[in-house]
A and B are shown apart, each in its own frame.
Chain A
Amino acid sequence: MSSERDILKSLLLKEELEVLSQLKQKILSEEQFTQEISRVLSGAIKRAQETDKGFERALAKPIKTGVTKAFTENKQSIVDSMLPIMGQLIRKTVTNSIKQFVSDINRVLEQRFSLKAIKWRWQAFKAGTSYAEMVFKKTISYQVKELFVINRENGLLIQHVGDNDMLIDNNAVSAMLTAIQDFIGDSLQTSESGLSSAAIGDVSYFISLGPKAYLATVIKGSATERLKEKSQQLIENIHAEFSELLTQEEKYQQDPEFDVYLRSHLLSKSISDTPKKVNWLPWIIGIVLLISGLIYMSYQKRQKFNAVENLAQSIEGLYIKSIKQTDGQYIITGLLDPRADTTKLIGPNIVLNTQAFISLDPVIIKKRIRILLDNHKNINFDLFDGNLLLTGNIEKSASEDLLSELTAIDGIRSINNQLSYIEPQSIAHLLKEYQNKFQQMAYHFDQNTLTISGTVDYNSYQSLTKEIRSQYSHIKLNDSAILISDSTDKLINIVEASIINFPNEIEDNSAQYAKLADKIEKIFNRNNSLTLEIKGESDCYGKTSNQHSDIRAQSAINFFTQRGLDSKRLIKKIQPCVNYIIKPDLSKLNVTFDFNQISKADLQ
């Protein structure tokens, strides 16, 4: 029967049975079932999450168990998986800490040499702590921004002071702070609150517990343990002074006295760490005195420096490059002319570190001139704008060397030579040689003019003047006071005044001629442009008078010619008779002489 039914089923439901068989195989085959389920699993979970509210709850427990188990059994794998996230987080935290630390160090370094640093050192010394500790304490900055006094039991806000953000409900904040503590107590399964502080960014919460209320202190910045102690003291004081208020909920946030009390504890670090008002007056006086002292010392130092500087600058021939004060010494660097007088700078505090140079300072130039004129006591000079004026006396021979040396001095552009040349020693010797040839010889040298007086013979005069003029051409010779004993004019006068008388017709007048011959010779020698007219004169007694006149003149010419006189310069002349006398006059039988000037052409 059964087989028949099976046959019938196979005939009627063959295809369905095959499908059912396949489905059965899929369900029974773990591999196939897993494969089928995996296709729809994600969609099924999603739909279940959307439609079945119990689905998540149902999953919560196994997931929690699974995760716990995974953490327990595969710690290393979990650590490895978490490392990229945690490592980054840790690095960020460490970096921020280092930044804060560096910032603190910078702050310390900035304060290192300040007045504040000195004060802190003193305070550290007094407190017996290290300077570093004091700096750390002083440089940590914080500000107590808000204070919440909260009912410890129900979390209601008893009083709040500080910043009031309209967007934040302080009641909610105080409740949340309480809730957090409760949450921790709940999580840790303890009745005691474990939350003592919390921090978000640079804002920290300090929780200070009291029997009825607790104090939540909101701090911005780096808070210290000391501040935590202060907060604890504050909540204790609140319990002591406002105990009733803490339990009277209808008075919460409405007690002005409590508000004022709390506000006085909104502290900044500077207030909390320096509870006593600092009396700045001694500091100000001290600082003023210190500054005054420093200014005075600086002034004194400057004065000394200026004195040295002025002293150095007053020295001609010293070019100052710099003056430095080192170890109490003033070191002057620059250029120094060897002629400069540095005696004023000699001292233990002044050191000259100079190099030699030639100064064109007028004082130094004058110094050089003076050195050159040291042997010329009669010379004075003046220097103005490079122009040198020389006055006084000098021997001509020495003047040239002196002038060339003066010209060589740097800084002298021109020389105005007003020197008078004085009598050289050699002239004195020369004059001395001629002194015995003079009668009463005298001379003096004034303004380059040598004046000689006295009487001397012509030759000596000629010889002396020739020597002076040849050897001392620069000297003007004044010889107007010299009387020449045998001067040409004198000789001419003598000759022209001479009358050779012939009392007899034939008279030998050789002796008289001889006297004249020397003189004539001298005259001719001294002046070759002169001729001597020899005139024969008669008394015109008899017809032969002219003839005799000629004979007498000729006799003179003959004589002078024989004595070597130039016959060409001896001119015979007859004084002709116009009227004859009847009585002889012997005194007129003469030969006379007369010099005439002739031209050189006539002579030739």
Chain B
Amino acid sequence: MKLAKKVCLIGRFAVGKTSLVKQYISKQFGDKYKTTVGVSISTKEVLINDIELSMVIWDIAGFEQDGHYAHYLRGVHGLIWVLDGTEPESFEILDIISESIPEIKQIPSICFINKHDLVDEWRVNDEDIEKLKSHNYAVLNSSAKTGENVDAGFNKLAELMVS
């Protein structure tokens, strides 16, 4: 059986969304930051429980303006929240979007706290973590640079989407 699912990555600027996708798709990482304009589309074929799943990954440009992402999230099957451990402010996006689009909570989702390779610079406190857990998302400390938990996170979401 073949299926195609739309997956969106959400997060503020420079949290590493594109790098995570690049790591997942081609196992590559670039040090230079290039901002995504609009949205970048990638696909990845995975086999989940005899289902050939084509993940159509929408790497949406960093959120700054309220509501500008609404267009891109329509009909989404899975969400990947990307937060930056070095910037606790990036965690705010979860609340902002969840409040503006309440139904998004029903979408299978996972959460990457990225840049775990810079764990020494992390400024995340316990309060932030607790708040994050309240959303009931699977949370993974990830590193787009080292590839830590990247495949696991995407595969976890794939399972959630087909289950």
Contact = CB atoms under 8 A, between A and B. Distances in A.
Interface residues of B, number: 25
B129 to A, nearest CB: 23
Interface stretch (A171-179, A284-292, A296-304, A458-466): A171-179
Contacts of A249: 3-4
B42 interface: yes
A183 B75 CA distance: 15
A401 interface: no
Contacts of A182: 39, 71-72, 74
Contacts of B5: 156
B2 A172 contact: no
B96 to A, nearest CB: 16
A96 to B, nearest CB: 27
A575 interface: no
Interface string B1-45: 111111000000110000000000000000001000011011100
A176 B38 CA distance: 10
B37 to A, nearest CB: 8
Contacts of B38: 179-180, 183, 186
Contacts of A344: none
A154 B54 CA distance: 14
B4 A157 contact: yes
B68 A253 contact: no
B124 interface: no
Interface core residue of A169, A182, A252 (most chain B CB under 10 Å) = A182
Interface string A47-68: 0000001001100000000000
Interface residues of A, number: 26
Contact of B56 (A53, A56, A171, A254): A171
A555 interface: no
A211 to B, nearest CB: 14
Interface core residue of B39, B41, B43, B77 (most chain A CB under 10 Å) = B41
Contact of B6 (A56, A156, A253): A156
B13 A57 contact: yes
Contacts of B13: 57
A179 B6 contact: no
B2 A253 contact: yes
A171 B39 contact: no
B76 interface: yes
B58 interface: yes
A153 interface: yes
A169 B43 contact: yes
A385 interface: no
A424 interface: no
B41 A179 contact: yes
A249 B51 CA distance: 13
Contact of A175 (B3, B33, B58, B68): B58
Nearest to B57: A175
A170 to B, nearest CB: 9
Nearest to B14: A53
Contacts of A156: 4-6, 56, 75
B68 A171 contact: no
B106 to A, nearest CB: 15
Nearest to A250: B3
A183 B56 contact: no
Given A179-B41, A182-B71, A183-B39, A155 B2 contact: no
Contacts of A185: 71
A561 B99 CA distance: 197
B114 to A, nearest CB: 14
A153 B74 contact: yes
Nearest to B55: A171
Contacts of B71: 182-183, 185-186, 191
A531 interface: no
A151 interface: yes
A253 B39 contact: no
Contacts of B6: 154-156, 175
Contacts of A180: 38
Contacts of B56: 155-156, 171-172, 175
Interface of A: 53, 56-57, 151, 153-157, 169, 171-172, 175-176, 179-180, 182-183, 185-186, 191, 249-250, 252-254
10 contacts: A154-B6, A154-B75, A156-B5, A172-B41, A172-B42, A180-B38, A182-B72, A250-B3, A252-B2, A253-B2
Interface of B: 1-6, 13-14, 33, 38-39, 41-43, 54, 56, 58, 68-69, 71-72, 74-77
Given A156-B75, A175-B56, A252-B4, 5 more contacts: A56-B33, A151-B75, A154-B76, A179-B38, A180-B38
